[in-house]
Amino acid sequence: MSEPTANMKRVLDRLAVEDKGLADPTTLAPGAGRALAALTNMRWNDDLPDVAEARTVMISDMSARYVVPKNDAGTDAILHVHGGGFSFCSAATHEGAARRLAIACRAPVLTIDYRLAPEQPYPAGMNDILDAWSARAPDRRWSIAGDSAGANLALCAMLRLINEGAELPAQALLFYGVYGADFNTPSYVAHADGPGLTREKMQRYWDWYTPADTRNVETVAPLHASDAQLRALPPLYLNAAGLDPLRSESETLAGRLHALGRADPFDLIDGVVHGFMQMGSVLPEARHAFEKAGEIFKTRAA
């Protein structure tokens, strides 16, 4: 098992001090857990990158944050789906991530506040992504991005679009995604107790999102997608965190894509934990991950 990088260890040591005595938010009532998750995630919005514009907007009856970087190339835009176990976080908690993504890709980023489980379980959040996609402005070429559960929702929304014969995003950037509900993969075994995300937390997130007997369809757990559906996806970029219970899911998805002859890049970032890209204000590995995703995005968008 790999060890945290020196930078990651410093962040984990900081969190051990700052979060001492705090409850696991997945063990609280949903509203209380959501409030605690928001509180602890907002710390990553210190020292926000400067952008040309950052404002709250409405799209398809949902609030959203629209971020325009100073280096906007003027051609593309990204629908950004925040993570948080289908249940926590928001456009506000992911403001720093959205700004870094926009700057790296030279494109505006729209992060929506989709409905959250357990009050609004599957398929509410995915339907909100699809509604936002349908309501996108026509003056840009749109792609999609997401982290963790947001990567799941982004990928599941694309599979729905394929099933319906609808227009797909130009490309997709998917960061350490939730792609299956098998809690006995090699990475779940190796990192069942973290650091950070744990098997028990993910089991509670899944229980809030959808019952176990519904998790065998591709629009819930996209590792169930057929080869034909995977072939029909737009160009993807995948990454995974080395110290993450979800790592094996990205590795399995990347393996299936490559076996189909697709050229979707996949990066495994060793020594970092799930959610590391949220920590861009203090973690160099997070900033490098955005830069790598941006390089691939800009090459495809050229």
| pLDDT tens digits, one per residue of 75-99 | 999 999 999 999 999 999 999 999 9
Q: Which residues contact 45 (CB under 8 A, 6 or more apart)?
A: 92, 93, 95, 96, 281
- Cα 1 to chain centroid distance, Å, stands at 24
Q: What pLDDT sits at residue 2?
A: 81
Residue reference for tokens 């559906």 = 229
**Inter-residue contact 30 to 87 (CB < 8 Å):** yes
Confidence grade of residue 30 (pLDDT, cut at 50, 70, 90): very high
Mean pLDDT of 164-180: 98
Maximum C-alpha span of the chain: 50
Residue 243 is encoded by which pair of tokens?
């110290």
Mean pLDDT of 265-270: 98
What does each C-alpha distance from 53 to 50, 138, 238, 265 come to in angstroms? 9, 19, 28, 31
The 10 Å Cβ neighbour count of residue 262 is 14
Instruction: Give the tens place of pLDDT for each residue, 93-124.
Output: 999 999 999 999 999 999 999 999 999 999 99
Decide: helix, strand or coil at residue 140: coil
Could you tell me which of 91, 110, 279 has the C-alpha nearest to residue 195? 279
Domain boundaries, given as residue ranges, for the chain: 6-301
Mean pLDDT of 15-19: 98
CA distance 284 to 37: 23
> Is pLDDT above 80 for 297?
yes
Mean pLDDT of 231-258: 98
* Domain 6-301: homologous superfamily in CATH: Alpha/Beta hydrolase fold, catalytic domain (3.40.50.1820)
Render 89-135 in DSSP notation, one character per residue.
Answer: --TTTTHHHHHHHHHHHTS-EEEE----TTTS-TTHHHHHHHHHHHT
Confidence grade of residue 289 (pLDDT, cut at 50, 70, 90): very high
Instruction: Give the tens place of pLDDT for each residue, 41-67.
Output: 999 999 999 999 999 999 999 999 999
> Is pLDDT above 80 for 1?
no
Residue 11 is encoded by which pair of tokens?
């962040």
Residue 186 is encoded by which pair of tokens?
């090699």
**Inter-residue contact 154 to 112 (CB < 8 Å):** no
Burial class (CB in 10 A: 0-12, 13-18, 19+), 200: middle
Could you tell me which of 183, 182, 198, 174 has the C-alpha nearest to residue 274? 198
Q: What pLDDT sits at residue 180?
A: 98
Q: What pLDDT sits at residue 9?
A: 98
Mean pLDDT of 155-181: 98
Q: Which residues contact 223 (CB under 8 A, 6 or more apart)?
A: 179, 180, 249, 252, 253, 256
pTM for this entry: 0.98
Decide: helix, strand or coil at residue 86: coil
Residue 157 is encoded by which pair of tokens?
């929304």
Angle between the 124-134 and 149-164 helix axes, to the nearest 10 degrees? 60
